[in-house]
Structure formats: C-alpha cells, structure tokens
Chain A
Amino acid sequence: MPRVYNWQLGREMEYAYEGARPRRQFAGVFDINKCIACQTCTIACKTTWTSGPGQEYMLWNNVETKPRGFYPVGYDVEILSALGPQRWDGERYAGRTIFEAAPEGERVLGWRPDALDYANPNIGEDEIAGQIDRGAAFGGEHPQWMFYLMRTCNHCTYPACLASCPRGSIYKRPEDGIVLVDQDRCRGYQECVRGCPYKKVYFNPVTGTSEKCIGCYPKIEQGEASQCFAACIGKLRIQGWISTPEQAREDNPIDYLVHVRKLAVPLMPQLGLEPNIYYIPPIHVPESYLVQMFGPRAPAAVRAYREAREDPVLRGLLVLFGSTNRIVWRFRVQNDVAVAYGEDGSELVRVPVTEPVVVRPAMDRLYQIRRENTT
C-alpha cells in the first residue's frame, strides 16, 4: 500500500492511493467558543442542496452538542471504540490510523450506521457531560460542561470515503481539494458511508446513490464563501486555503491560525484523514477530552486563545471571521484595523479591531424621554 505524509500525525502513513495534494486546499476555521447552535448554517445548507426526495435526513452541515450529541448517533464513539486506545508521542502519532487498522478484506476500518441512527438529528442537544450535584454552585469554574460542534465534510487530504469506493466514484478536485461523489459512476454500494468516520456521506434511497457536501463549489469557483460559512450569524467561521506547514504564509488567515499561531486544530486527527476543517477548541472543556477529539495540540490552542486579547494581529484576524462573504486569501492588521484581501489582491473588507463605543445618555433631551433598558 502506498505511503503518504500526514503532517497532522507528524509521520508517514498507509493510504489506498499515492499522495497527490491539490493545487489549493479548501479549508475553514470554526471558533467553537462562539457557537450558539442556532443551526442557521444547517438550514442554509439544507435548503440549498438537500430538499429533494431521498434527501430528507441528510444534513451535510449539522451542529451537535458535545459530548452527548451526535449525528448520526454515536459516530465518533463508534469509530474511536473500534480503533481502541491509541497513543501520541508528543505531536507524533504513535497509534494506528483507520487505514492501518483495516481488517482483512476491508480498505479502511469503518462502520455503517443504521437508518434509526439518523432519526434524531439533534439528539443530546444541550445535555451536559454529567450530573450537577445537589447544592452545587458556580465557583468560577463550571463543574460540568458541554459545547457545540459544527460539522461539515472536512474535504480531507486523505479521504476515507474516496479510499473506500471500489468503483473510484469519489474524487478530489485538483483545483481546490473539494471531495465529490460522481453521481454518474456511483452505484450506491455505501462503502463510503461505512468508511467516512465523520459520517458525512449519505445514501439517497430514491436515486440509489450516495451524496455528500460539495463545498458549495459553484460559489467557491466565483470566490464566494460556502453557504454554511456565509450564513453563520455568530461570525465564527472563516474560509480560505491551507498550505502544508513548510509552505505556510503568515498573511494567509488559515495558515496563520493553524500553522503559525496553532490556534486551530483538526477533528480526530488520529484517524489519519488529515481533515481540512479546523476548530478553535472550547476553552472550558477537560484536556483529556480535548486531546481525544482534537489531538495533542488542543491544550496549547486553548492557551493561545485565552491570550489572544493581548495579541493585536490575532485579535484582528478573529474580528475578520464572518466579516465578508468572500473567500479571504490574505489579511493584514495595522493600526487597529483588520483588512481582508481576495485572490486578485483587492480589498474585501476593512474592520476595526476595537469597536467604536458610543455611550448613549439615558435621557433623550430632544424628546425629553428617559430611555430604559428593557432586556
């Protein structure tokens, strides 16, 4: 089996095909700390792409509550259990990926959900990690915790769906790294549904083919951000292109967040897919859980995020999240202003890092009315 380099693991690994990185790689960073699970991203995607017969249950984008929410039920627990305890040696993964742990006769270690696993798309919503003891009170640190995890296809560098398909019906576009199911070639074997550990490929029982997030490629081709990015009212997403670590550029917002400041980390990197959606991890969650879900870099990412307010460039970049519906190719922070640039170098948006504060007096002298705070 060919060997490829996965920088998220810090080592080479086995994969079904020779490594061939795209010319550009679709990527995004999601700030988990800002999400309120309003599901606007979910609905923006749903109404755009999956409103037809056979697509009723498909949520190419979903937001679930962690640690007790999933879509489909138990997708992360199932694959982590199947893989068993694994070990990181610092930032180098010493365990086995789902490609290396594939049983005889299989291309990847996978599992396939049943239809009922999709029956409750927001199961576990707002449930916390454990019981609150009687008489417990807030003492500066939450005794229990939960957070929202927003998920789309990761358009992985080494997609398990692609590796699983015996017909070669799934391909990764060389121009942007978006992973697509060829709807002409697909015969609905559901090997991709079994193989993708994030369960982001769905079987359409009406057409008999499997379907997945297309990264809103018609928008990407026009320089526009994908629907779930553009629709986020919490402004917690930023879309761009990610480089490999050795080619990282400081003025590339994704590179800066992932490689330079190491603020954003991938979801379950130990599985070996090199996913390209990155998360700023929640700052109030136990380290052991963070490491299991986001890898060994997560604790440092939390520390960096806590210190971001002291860093004018990082603060500037964080206010650029959700400030434009275009893909941000470059950014610059200067004189307390963050500026985003497009592919041709044109300015996309300019945002003050410190919002101007206007103090409105309680007494409106023009109308001689006293304003009240009603909320």
Chain B
Amino acid sequence: MTSMAADAGRIIAIVGLLACGPGAPRREGPVRVERATGAIPFEEPRAEGWDAAGDREIDLVPQRTVQPMAAEGSSGRLRVRALHDGQWVAFRLEWEDRTEDAVVGTSRFSDAVAIQFPAARGQQPGPMMGHQGEGGRVQVLYWRAAWQQGDPMGALHPNRAPWFYPSQAAAEGEPRQRLERLYSPAAEVRNPTLQRFENQPAFRGEAEGFGTLSPATEPQVRARGEYAEGHWYVVLAMPIGDAARSVLAPGQSTQVAFALWDGSAGHVGARKLWSGSWLPLEVAAGGGT
C-alpha cells in the first residue's frame, strides 16, 4: 500500500468511526445475536438491557416482486439488536413511525414487523417467503400491534352504542360459548392467528413460497411492543430448541430477513417493506444458563 493510500485508508476509518460512533448503529456486516449477561428483558422493549446487544441498521425497500405490491418510492429503516441466553433468542426491533396503528378495521391496518430465517440448517430457501429457493422452508416470527388490543371493538369504536348479541341471552358457560362460536366462524375453525401461543401478540409460522405462511410445528413465541415518541420498540423472541439442530443455536451462522408494515400506509400482507434479500446472522457462542 502506498503511503497516500494508507493515509486515505486512515481517513476513511476515522470518518467511519465518527459516523458509527457511540450510539450509532452499524450499517454493514452481519446481524449479531449477543450472549446476554443478565436476564433478557422480554417484556421491556425499551429497557437498558438491550443496549448491550449488537446494533445493526437495515434499510428496507417496498415489496415490488409479487402482486399486490407496496407503493413505489416508500422506504424504511429498521434498527436491530439481539440477545440470547442459551434458551431463547430475542430480537429488539426499533423503527420510526409517525403514527401508532394498533387498531384494525375496514381499511385500517396494523403496524407490524416480522423476522425470517431458514427453517432448518443447511437449507437455502429463497428470501421471499421461501419462494424458489434451493429447497427448504423459512420460519417467520410475526408481531402485530393490533394483537395487543384486548378489546378490538372497543378500540375501533370507543363511543359505540351498547349492542345486544344473541349469545348474551344464553346461559353462561357452554350454551353461551356455543352461540358465540356460531357467529364467529374464524374462531370456530381455530384460525391460527386467533389461537396464538399463550395469547402472545405474535405468530410463529413457516412458509414455502408466496401465500403459504402457516402455523409452525413449534408455536412458542414471545413478543411485546411499545410505542413512544414516534418510534416502535418491539421484542420478538423464540426458543432456540434443540441446539444440535436449531439454526439459531449458539455459535451458528445463518441468514435473516426482515419485513415491516406501516398500517397508515395501507401496508398489509404482501404490501410491505422488506430487507430486499437475506442478511448474514451470527449467534454468539455460549450455552444455556
């Protein structure tokens, strides 16, 4: 290397350091899942405990490959931190969003975020829901703000008049539940998004191509989102499972992709922002506690 080139290299390194100084996320390199030194703050997306985690910023682009598509020109940026404790892998996702969309209704959509990995080690599924990959499925962790609403109708219509439902005339217990199911076909057939693991505001699924997302064999998932000062902070976590087989086992390297939905922008389903491709993911070594 010539001295001029070496100087230029030093200057670039210094500028790089300034740009990524303390508090600034990395914009290159793998997403790192660090070994947690204490308890993972699953229920506290804004806890200081997340500061110790690797910090990576990812640019998101509109999904414009399959119909229906997100509007051209939209973009987003996701800040990712991740920790594991040998038992669980947890991601803390942060992004700017001027509107908190946590209620669904006709033409009202929820803010949401999702993380995608290959479902099994050694597989190279396509980055778009496993579409046209070299075999293999993807697994998806999907959080939706609206799933944190205990009373969706109350949230949608806070001033609504009292309504009488036929089920209310039935005796409490099984007779009433039977009538409630009669007028709630999705609940009657146990739609997986209504039968979420421990009623968490998230869904763990698997897919093998567009439109194929279905419940994962292992449903365990934990999630919690908080909206503050124009930002969403969301924790999405899943158990590592069998360390001998899991793609997220300590010491493993795999791939990860992210998707983001802005309810106010009409994002839902395939109308979303996403990371555009797989990104490398490294899980720090360190066994269970």
Q: Chain A: residues with CB nearer than 8 A to chain B?
A: 49-56, 104-107, 112-115, 117-118, 164, 166-168, 183-184, 186-191, 193, 202-209, 211
Contacts and interface: CB of A to CB of B under 8 A. Distances in A.
Interface in B29-72: 64, 66-69, 72
Contacts of B156: 115, 205
Contacts of A186: 186, 191
Given A56-B163, A205-B105, 16 more contacts: A51-B183, A53-B183, A55-B183, A106-B68, A107-B67, A112-B106, A114-B107, A115-B108, A118-B106, A166-B67, A183-B186, A184-B191, A187-B193, A187-B213, A205-B106, A206-B152
Contacts of B226: none
B190 A184 contact: yes
A120 B47 CA distance: 47
Given A191-B68, A206-B153, A208-B194, A52 B106 contact: no
Contacts of B268: 188-190
B106 A203 contact: yes
Given A190-B268, A205-B152, A115 B106 contact: yes
Contacts, number: 119
Given A54-B153, A166-B269, A191-B269, A207 B146 contact: no
A353 to B, nearest CB: 42
Contacts of A205: 103-106, 108, 152-153, 156
Given A112-B106, A208-B193, A53 B68 contact: no
Contacts of A202: 106
A207 B67 contact: no
Contacts of B108: 115, 205
A52 B182 contact: yes
Contacts of B105: 115, 203, 205
Contacts of A187: 193, 213, 269
13 contacts: A52-B182, A115-B105, A115-B108, A166-B270, A183-B186, A202-B106, A203-B105, A205-B153, A207-B194, A208-B193, A208-B194, A209-B186, A211-B185
Interface in B159-197: 163, 165-167, 180, 182-194
A53 B184 contact: yes
Contact of B104 (A114, A168, A183, A188): A188
Contacts of B67: 105-107, 166
Contacts of B166: 51
A203 B156 CA distance: 13
Contacts of B153: 53-54, 205-206
A211 B72 CA distance: 30
Given A53-B165, A206-B152, A208-B146, A189 B269 contact: yes
A208 B194 CA distance: 8
Contact of B189 (A105, A166, A183, A193): A183
Interface residues of B, number: 41
B188 A183 contact: yes
Contacts of A104: 69
| Most chain B beta-carbon neighbours within 10 Å: one of A55, A187, A209 | A187
Given A115-B108, A166-B270, A207 B69 contact: no
B1 to A, nearest CB: 48
Contacts of A52: 165, 167, 180, 182-184
Nearest to A116: B106
A217 to B, nearest CB: 12
A232 to B, nearest CB: 23
Interface string B77-89: 0000000000000
A208 B146 CA distance: 10
B191 A209 contact: yes
Contacts of B163: 53, 56
A59 to B, nearest CB: 13
A54 B109 CA distance: 15
Nearest to B146: A208
| Most chain B beta-carbon neighbours within 10 Å: one of A106, A114, A183 | A183
Contacts of B106: 112-115, 117-118, 190, 193, 202-203, 205
Nearest to A214: B185
A168 B214 CA distance: 13
A113 B191 contact: no
A276 B194 CA distance: 33
A117 B108 CA distance: 13
Contact of A183 (B165, B185, B210): B185
Nearest to B105: A205
Contacts of A164: 68
B158 interface: no
Contacts of B152: 54, 205-206, 208
Contact of A166 (B188, B190, B210): B210
